[in-house]
Copies of this chain bind each other. A is one copy, B any other.
């Protein structure tokens, strides 16, 4: 087997996502089976720079399959934009004789990895798209999305118990997703939400208000649920609810789902996909595929050049 017996590094970088842990577990188990040594650096690129690392063993990962977040910690490392930090990271990896680095994160993390690669060209980089936002270019799926979407769905289920015990209420729900609104939109696509407010399809405050009033008018019974994507962190839904209350004396209840949506036990789908991503990452290292990230497209895993990661992914916003 080409490339057998390699020493491979792995980090989780940027925001955590459910699916990171099962993916790590499979990298470690499959890696060991195939004769590789897997070194985990703690807390992303910063952990490499600060040399916080250890050999990961299959014995310790049994419960990682069911845990959200990441057991080797994650974080951002803005210093990596500077050459000095890139060099530091490259030196540490070289000192450990790491032949390849697997980066579990989003496009920002892939970009950082590429910068490190430029300082250490023999180092192979393989990216695994992990983010609840499902916004990595070229991939239909990113690890964590399914869990985050289920968290949101379960949340709405609870809300509906109350909403349908009453009549004619309006609820605003803010989900995570930053400027990428696919999480919020999914609830609309399922048919559970009246509409979703997204950055990708900007909506004026007055239009939102008009749509809420119209939905109230049309609804004979039950309540109305409107999703808001997180956007700029200013909780726009609260402001609009205030306007509607002041102007029409309608009391709208707002929920801000917040960072609970980034955690929770990975769903079965995130575990299955994690296994698929881990498998392809190790094979890429073995077969000499270089500086790619793994994408899942039209039901198949493929490789994509890491330079594409910064492009904007576009969804079909109107249908699944």
Contacts and interface: CB of A to CB of B under 8 A. Distances in A.
A75 B260 CA distance: 30
Contacts of A265: 154, 157
Interface stretch (A93-101, A107-115, A189-197, A201-209): A189-197
A150 to B, nearest CB: 5
Indicate the size class of the contact surface on chain A: 35 or more
A275 B191 contact: yes
A137 to B, nearest CB: 16
A162 B62 contact: no
25 contacts: A15-B162, A16-B162, A26-B191, A59-B221, A62-B164, A62-B222, A65-B157, A65-B191, A66-B153, A68-B158, A70-B165, A75-B167, A150-B268, A152-B268, A158-B263, A163-B263, A171-B259, A186-B272, A189-B275, A191-B275, A192-B271, A255-B259, A256-B258, A273-B320, A299-B299
Interface in A157-173: 157-167, 171, 173
A62 B219 CA distance: 11
A82 interface: no
By CB atoms of chain B within 10 A, which of A59, A151, A159, A259 has the most? Answer: A259
A48 interface: no
Given A161-B264, A191-B22, A319 B259 contact: no
A159 to B, nearest CB: 4
Contact of A260 (B59, B68, B159, B235): B159
- Give how many copies assemble into the complex: 4
A311 interface: no
Contact of A159 (B70, B189, B263): B263
A211 interface: no
B272 A189 contact: yes
Contact of A160 (B166, B263, B267, B300): B263
Nearest to A257: B255
Interface string A277-301: 0010000000000000000011110
Interface string A212-251: 0000000011100000000000010010000000000000
Contacts of A261: 158
A29 interface: yes
4 closest A-B pairs by beta carbon, nearest first, are: A161-B263, A255-B258, A68-B161, A69-B165
Given A65-B157, A256-B258, 10 more contacts: A69-B162, A150-B269, A154-B265, A161-B264, A186-B272, A190-B271, A190-B275, A255-B258, A269-B269, A298-B298
Interface string A2-28: 000000000010011010001001100
A210 interface: no
Nearest to A18: B161
A62 B258 CA distance: 20
A20 to B, nearest CB: 8
Interface string A56-89: 0001001101111110011100000000000000
Nearest to A221: B59
